[in-house]
């Protein structure tokens, strides 16, 4: 079975993230770029399949800046067989549609049985890419899965809906997106790290993929303005002396909150 | 043949699994009324369509287009309905909720029509050139606006972010006959609803929220969070640590990878205030925190903070609130 795992590099959510006020792009110098946490979990899903089905072939795919290569190398060390990195200056500030078109073009170059993604990225919070790929590639998409199993060419999973869960299934080939309920990734071992040095990272440009950044028939979403919000300031902080509860209720009453 | 106003804004209204209008209905129509003439699209099981259409008109839809679908879970058939409505109405913008179902409908539809997507908007405005969406990026640290290079934007709006409401309209209903599309879809075998207690306000749209963290210690002790929430008539949220520990279901998670809320009042109990938690609540109007660690980062953004033990303080707060109510 051939699996593609889509991972994304994002500004670290554990630090203050900054947008450049002129370009509206993520300020890469100000905040460290890391692999989106959901991406590690997505890779782990594929690695678990590889554990039980050794003939599985995993390719990690990412569109993003140079720095993602270290992460792709780590994915190879964990057990992925190959990596594809789409990198092009024209992709700076790419919107969802362009990202989807690029990733779809990269996926069309091979026949994958399963395309795995995270349910939502922490920088864009779109939660849309998996179904956009489903439309572009004419594949079924089982999204927002908190459980996933693959047997005899059929994917089964538990889909987390708002206020409900659904048992869903689809024959492969298919796309699946997973939630953070699934476990975090394993660490690469020494043997894996050595083996990864010999594995390929294919780098592709827009020209290689035959995708145009600004085709005449496709609207793009552009950022018009960017403003930094003033930071919040601390108010009254008191240590509990037995009276704090009363003081809190008075504070709420004064602010018309009770 | 009905004609549609040139400034029509097409609003896709989501239906719950039980056939009720989704909570986002009134705010989406409110947002649409602020920038044009709201036209609603409803896709649901046949038996619910009439009541849903009446509700949409009541909430401000000038006309309602409805179509029957077998299930409201799969998003490709819902996108088929939106697509047909779009072709009929030729609107200046398409609005949907940024919920699991609606954002997938938006994404599928935008791909099919090659329209620009603006996601997770907190508001919509209009300038000379068209409709603009405003967003809050990186957990509220930045405010941005976005617009399409051309064409109608497809905008998903964060649930609970719009206060405007539209005026009720007479019902003008038109049934669409949408043939089953040819999109590849999954099969849904079984849907089981997670028992939601309807008495309590829903987290996303609640004007007050009480959240509990790891500091609550156990699922039994997390009960204290519900008690304070009920005393304040608030919705209930949680940190990821509390969700991971199994104190409460994942749907209650507030933060970067959970729900983003902007209530009038947010009360954080036993929550340290990690940056990923703050990303989901720091735009609340008033923040109250109770934590026994005076160095907890949550105090940096709290309007009112108490350094102390939640198990001692919260019961006293509840009695003081009850005493106040009894007056
Ligand atoms: C990519 C990513 C995404 C994430 N997304 C989210 C998210 O969406 N939401 C989220 O919340 N977190 C998220 N996190 C996790 C986040 O970093 C923190 O780990 C989490 O918020 C901590 O939860 P907590 O404050 O309940 O626990 P802790 O940090 O352990 O804090 C518990 C607090 O309780 C206090 N306490 C203990 N006992 C008492 C008592 N008796 N009375 C009063 N106070 C007491 C302690 O002093 C402490 O401050 C994410 C992390 C990553 C890496
Ligand atoms: N630039 C990218 N490169 C590779 N995968 C991506 C990229 N952007 C998004 N994805 C995938 O799509 C998922 C959902 O992202 P989003 O729709 O942006 O919230 C992510 O978890 C990734 O698996």
The model's pLDDT over A177-216, given as tens digits with 9 standing for 90+, comes to 999 999 999 999 999 999 999 999 999 999 999 999 999 9
Q: According to the model, what pLDDT value does residue B109 have?
A: 98
Is the residue at B259 inside a domain?
Answer: yes
Is B7 an 8 Å CB contact of chain A?
Answer: no
% pLDDT > 90, chain A: 83
Average pLDDT, chain A: 94
CA distance A79 to chain B (A): 27
B100/B247 same-domain check: no
Comparing A23-27, A131-135, B67-71, B132-136, the range with the smallest average pLDDT is A23-27
Q: Is the pLDDT assigned to residue A29 strictly greater than 80?
A: no
Going by alpha carbons, the residue nearest to atom 36 of ligand 1 is: B215
B213/B89 same-domain check: no
Is the residue at B311 inside a domain?
Answer: yes
The model's pLDDT over B158-217, given as tens digits with 9 standing for 90+, comes to 999 999 999 999 999 999 999 888 899 999 999 998 766 668 899 999 999 999 999 999
B221/B137 same-domain check: no
pLDDT band at B145 (very low <50, low <70, confident <90, very high): very high
Least distant ligand from the CA of A100: 2
The answer to whether A130 and A117 are in contact (CB under 8 A) is yes
> Relative to the CA of A13, which ligand 1 atom is closest?
1
pLDDT band at A230 (very low <50, low <70, confident <90, very high): confident
What ipTM goes with this model? Answer: 0.95
Distance CA B164, CA B29 (A): 9
Going by alpha carbons, the residue nearest to atom 38 of ligand 1 is: B215
Q: Do A218 and B317 touch (CB under 8 A)?
A: no
Is the residue at B131 inside a domain?
Answer: yes
**Inter-axis angle of helices B25-33 and B49-58, to 10 degrees?**
50
B241/B149 same-domain check: no
Is the residue at A196 inside a domain?
Answer: yes
Is the residue at A69 inside a domain?
Answer: yes
B164/B81 same-domain check: yes
* A20 vs B26, residue with greater confidence: B26
Q: Do B257 and A38 touch (CB under 8 A)?
A: yes
Q: Do A126 and B196 touch (CB under 8 A)?
A: no
A121 CB within 6 A, ligand 2: yes
Q: Do B186 and A251 touch (CB under 8 A)?
A: no
B77/B162 same-domain check: yes
pLDDT band at A7 (very low <50, low <70, confident <90, very high): very high
> Relative to the CA of B273, which ligand 1 atom is closest?
25
Q: Is the pLDDT assigned to residue A94 strictly greater than 60?
A: yes
pLDDT, average across residues A6-14: 92
Distance CA B254, CA B249 (A): 11
B267/B140 same-domain check: no
Give the Å distances, CA to CA, from A217 to A65, A134, A214, B112: 27, 20, 9, 12
Q: Is the pLDDT assigned to residue A50 strictly greater than 60?
A: yes
Q: Do B301 and A226 touch (CB under 8 A)?
A: no
Q: According to the model, what pLDDT value does residue B10 have?
A: 98
Q: Is the pLDDT assigned to residue A20 strictly greater than 90?
A: no
pLDDT band at A115 (very low <50, low <70, confident <90, very high): very high
The residue from B175, B196, B223 where one domain ends is B175
Is the residue at A153 inside a domain?
Answer: yes
The residue from B175, B200, B226 where one domain ends is B175
Is the residue at B252 inside a domain?
Answer: yes
B293 CB within 6 A, ligand 1: yes
B219/B161 same-domain check: no
pLDDT, average across residues B218-230: 98
B130/B226 same-domain check: no
Is the residue at B321 inside a domain?
Answer: yes
% pLDDT > 70, chain A: 100
Of A138, A163, A219, the CB nearest to B194: A163
B161/B226 same-domain check: no
- Which chain A residue has the Cα nearest residue B79? A135
Q: Do A227 and B142 touch (CB under 8 A)?
A: yes
Q: How far does the centroid of ligand 2 lie from the alpha carbon of residue B11, in Å? A: 26
The answer to whether B72 and B49 are in contact (CB under 8 A) is no
Is the residue at B298 inside a domain?
Answer: yes
For residue A249, is it left (φ>0), alpha (ψ between -120 and 50) or beta?
A: alpha
Domain range enclosing A44: 2-209
Q: What is the CATH number of the domain that holds A92?
A: 3.40.50.620
Query: Which stretches of B45-131 are DSSP H helices?
Result: 49-58, 75-89, 100-113
pLDDT, average across residues B138-166: 94
Instruction: Find where tokens 């129509």 sit.
Output: B29
Is the residue at B255 inside a domain?
Answer: yes
Least distant ligand from the CA of A37: 1
Q: How many domains does chain B have?
A: 2
pLDDT band at B132 (very low <50, low <70, confident <90, very high): very high
B180-193 as b/e: b if 16+ CB within 10 A: ebebbbbebeeeee
pLDDT band at A21 (very low <50, low <70, confident <90, very high): confident
Q: What is the CATH number of the domain that holds B229?
A: 3.40.50.1220
Q: Which two tokens stand for residue A179?
A: 């939630």
The model's pLDDT over A145-168, given as tens digits with 9 standing for 90+, comes to 999 999 999 999 999 998 899 999
A62 CB within 6 A, ligand 2: yes
Least distant ligand from the CA of B248: 1
CA distance A166 to chain B (A): 4
Is B145 an 8 Å CB contact of chain A?
Answer: yes
Q: Which residues in chain A have Cβ-Cβ distances shorter than 8 Å to B257?
A: 37-38, 120, 122, 180
Distance CA A234, CA B56 (A): 42
B134/B277 same-domain check: no
Q: Which residues in chain A have Cβ-Cβ distances shorter than 8 Å to B308?
A: 239-240, 244
Q: Do B305 and A236 touch (CB under 8 A)?
A: yes
Domain range enclosing B296: 208-326
Give B 146-205 residues with CB within 8 A of chain A.
146-151, 153, 183-194, 196
Q: What is the CATH number of the domain that holds B157?
A: 3.40.50.620
Q: Which residues in chain B have Cβ-Cβ distances shorter than 8 Å to A246?
A: 316, 320
Is the residue at A249 inside a domain?
Answer: no
Is the residue at B108 inside a domain?
Answer: yes
Is the residue at A57 inside a domain?
Answer: yes
Q: How many domains does chain A have?
A: 1
Is the residue at A182 inside a domain?
Answer: yes
Q: Do B148 and A219 touch (CB under 8 A)?
A: yes
Question: What's the pTM value of the predicted model, to 2 decimals?
Answer: 0.94
A128 CB within 6 A, ligand 2: yes
B166/B233 same-domain check: no
Average pLDDT, chain B: 95
Residue of B213, B222, B301, B316 to mutate, ligand 1, most atoms within 8 A of C-beta: B213
pLDDT, average across residues A131-156: 97
Q: Do A239 and B308 touch (CB under 8 A)?
A: yes
Laid out side by side, the sheet with A141-151 consists of A201-204, A82-86, A57-63, A2-6, A114-118, A174-178, A141-151, A154-161, A164-171, B187-193
Which residues have a Cβ under 8 Å from the Cβ of B285 and sit 6 or more positions away?
Answer: B262, B263, B264, B265
The answer to whether B203 and B209 are in contact (CB under 8 A) is yes
Q: According to the model, what pLDDT value does residue A234 have?
A: 87
């Amino acid at each position: 079975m051939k699996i593609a795992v889509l991972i994304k590099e994002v500004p670290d959510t554990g630090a203050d993230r900054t947008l450049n006020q002129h370009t509206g792009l993520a300020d890469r110098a100000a905040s460290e770029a890391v692999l989106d946490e959901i991406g590690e979990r997505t890779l782990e899903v594929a690695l678990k399949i590889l554990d039980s089905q050794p003939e599985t072939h995993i390719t990690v795919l990412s569109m993003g800046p140079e720095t993602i290569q270290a992460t792709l190398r780590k994915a190879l060390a964990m057990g992925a067989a190959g990596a594809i990195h789409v990198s092009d200056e024209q992709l700076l500030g790419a919107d969802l549609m362009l990202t989807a078109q690029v990733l779809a073009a990269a996926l069309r170059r091979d026949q994958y049985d399963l395309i795995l993604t995270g349910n939502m990225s922490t920088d864009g919070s779109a939660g849309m890419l998996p179904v956009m790929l489903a439309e572009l590639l004419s594949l079924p998409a089982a999204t927002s899965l908190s459980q996933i199993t693959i047997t005899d060419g059929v994917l089964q999973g538990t889909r987390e809906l708002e206020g409900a869960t659904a048992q869903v299934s689809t024959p492969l080939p298919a796309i699946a997106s997973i939630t953070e309920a699934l476990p975090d990734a394993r660490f690469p071992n020494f043997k894996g790290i050595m083996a990864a040095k010999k594995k390929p990272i294919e780098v592709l440009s827009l020209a290689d993929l035959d995708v145009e950044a600004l085709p005449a028939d496709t609207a793009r979403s552009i950022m018009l303005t960017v403003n930094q919000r003033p930071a919040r300031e601390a108010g009254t902080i008191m240590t509990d002396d037995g009276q704090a509860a009363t003081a809190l209720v008075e504070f709420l009453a004064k602010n018309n909150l009770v | 043949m009905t004609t549609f106003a040139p400034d029509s804004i097409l609003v896709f209204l989501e239906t719950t699994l039980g056939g009720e209008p989704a909570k986002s209905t009134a705010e989406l129509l409110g947002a649409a009324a602020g920038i044009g003439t709201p036209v609603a699209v409803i896709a649901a099981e046949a038996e619910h369509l009439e009541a849903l259409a009446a509700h949409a008109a009541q909430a401000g839809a000038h006309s309602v287009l409805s179509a029957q679908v077998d299930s409201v879970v799969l998003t490709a058939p819902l996108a088929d309905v939106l697509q047909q409505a779009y072709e009929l109405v030729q609107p200046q913008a398409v609005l949907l909720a940024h919920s699991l179902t609606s954002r997938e409908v938006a994404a599928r539809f935008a791909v099919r029509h090659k329209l620009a997507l603006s996601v997770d908007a907190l508001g919509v405005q209009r300038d000379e050139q068209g409709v603009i969406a405003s967003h809050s990026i990186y957990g509220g640290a930045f405010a941005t606006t976005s617009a399409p290079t051309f064409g109608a934007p497809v905008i998903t709006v964060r649930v609970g972010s719009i206060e405007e409401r539209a005026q009720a309209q007479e019902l003008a209903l038109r049934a669409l006959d949408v043939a089953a599309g040819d999109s590849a879809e999954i099969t849904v075998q079984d849907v089981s609803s997670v028992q939601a207690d309807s008495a309590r306000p829903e987290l996303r749209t609640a004007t007050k929220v009480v959240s509990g963290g790891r500091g609550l210690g156990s699922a039994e002790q997390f009960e204290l969070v519900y008690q304070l929430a009920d005393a304040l008539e608030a919705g209930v949220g949680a940190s990821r640590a509390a969700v991971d520990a199994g104190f409460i279901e994942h749907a209650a998670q507030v933060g970067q990878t959970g729900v983003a809320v902007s209530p009038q009042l947010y009360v954080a109990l036993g929550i340290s205030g990690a940056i990923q938690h703050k990303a989901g609540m720091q735009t609340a109007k008033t923040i109250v925190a109770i934590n026994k660690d005076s160095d907890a980062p949550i105090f940096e953004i709290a309007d009112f903070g108490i350094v102390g033990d939640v198990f001692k303080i919260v019961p006293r707060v509840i009695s003081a609130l009850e005493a106040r109510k009894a007056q």
